[in-house]
C-alpha cells in the first residue's frame, strides 16, 4: 500500500530516543554481571595455577627426601625451579630430558604455569631461605618461598569476595 499523501513513513525522534534509552538500560544491567564473571574467572584461574604449582612442589619434595626444587649448589633460581619441575630428575635434583636413564623422577609439570591473571606476568621470584617478602609487589607473576615451599600469586589486588590475591 502506498502511504497517504501528507503522511510520512519511518520513526519519529521520540520513538528513536525511547528505543535508545531501553537499549542503554539493558546494557547497564548486563555490563556489571559480565565484569563480575570476568573477575570470578580470573580468581578461579589463579587458584587453579597455584594448586598445580603447589602440588608439583610437594610431589618433588616427597620424591627428593623433603628437598625443595629450585636449588643448585646453594644458589636458588627461577630457571632451576622450572627445570626441576618440568624435566626428569635424579635423587640429587640434577635434570635431564624425560625418559633419560638414571633420572626416574618427574616431570611434575607438563607445561609452564602461565601468566598471573591479575598482572599478566609469568615470571617467578624465587626467595632463597632467609629471604623474606611480607606482601606482594606486583613485580613478577608468582613468588616461590624456597624455605617453606610456599607458592603465591604476586598480586596486590583482591578477588571478587574481597580476599587478597596474595592469600589465595
pLDDT in tens, 12-71: 888 888 889 888 888 777 766 666 778 889 999 999 999 999 999 999 999 999 999 998
Contact call for residues 146 and 76 (beta carbons, < 8 A)? yes
Domain housing 47: 13-167
**3-state SS, residue 95:** strand
Would residue 72 count as lying in a domain? yes
Model pLDDT for residues 68-117, shown as the tens digit of each residue: 999 877 889 999 999 999 999 999 999 999 999 999 999 999 998 999 99
Q: How many domains does the chain have?
A: 1
Would residue 6 count as lying in a domain? no
Would residue 27 count as lying in a domain? yes
* E strand or H helix that includes residue 142: strand 142-145
Q: What's the pTM?
A: 0.78
Would residue 7 count as lying in a domain? no
Residue 4 has pLDDT above 60, yes or no: no
Rounded to the nearest 5°, which phi and psi values hold at 89? -130, 160
Indicate the pLDDT class of residue 1, thresholds 50, 70 and 90.
very low
Q: Give the pLDDT of residue 99.
A: 95
Would residue 101 count as lying in a domain? yes
The C-alpha atoms of residue 73 and residue 70 are separated, in whole angstroms, by 10
Q: Give the pLDDT of residue 129.
A: 92
- Mean pLDDT (whole number) for 133-151: 95
Would residue 117 count as lying in a domain? yes
Amino acid at each position: 500500500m502506498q502511504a497517504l499523501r501528507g503522511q510520512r513513513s519511518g520513526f519519529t525522534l521520540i520513538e528513536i530516543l525511547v528505543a535508545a534509552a531501553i537499549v542503554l538500560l539493558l546494557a547497564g544491567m548486563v555490563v556489571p554481571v559480565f565484569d563480575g564473571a570476568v573477575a570470578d574467572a580470573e580468581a578461579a584461574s589463579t587458584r587453579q595455577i597455584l594448586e598445580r604449582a603447589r602440588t608439583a612442589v610437594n610431589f618433588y619434595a616427597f620424591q627428593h627426601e623433603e628437598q625443595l626444587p629450585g636449588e643448585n649448589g646453594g644458589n636458588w633460581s627461577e630457571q632451576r625451579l622450572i627445570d626441576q619441575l618440568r624435566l626428569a630428575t635424579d635423587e640429587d635434583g640434577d635434570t635431564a630430558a624425560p625418559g633419560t636413564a638414571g633420572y626416574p623422577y618427574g616431570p611434575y609439570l607438563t607445561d609452564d604455569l602461565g601468566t598471573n591473571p591479575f598482572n599478566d606476568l609469568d615470571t617467578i621470584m624465587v626467595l632463597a631461605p632467609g629471604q623474606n617478602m611480607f606482601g606482594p609487589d606486583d613485580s613478577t607473576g608468582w613468588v616461590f618461598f624456597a624455605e617453606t615451599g610456599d607458592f603465591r600469586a604476586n598480586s596486590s589486588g583482591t578477588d571478587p569476595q574481597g580476599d587478597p590475591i596474595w592469600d589465595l
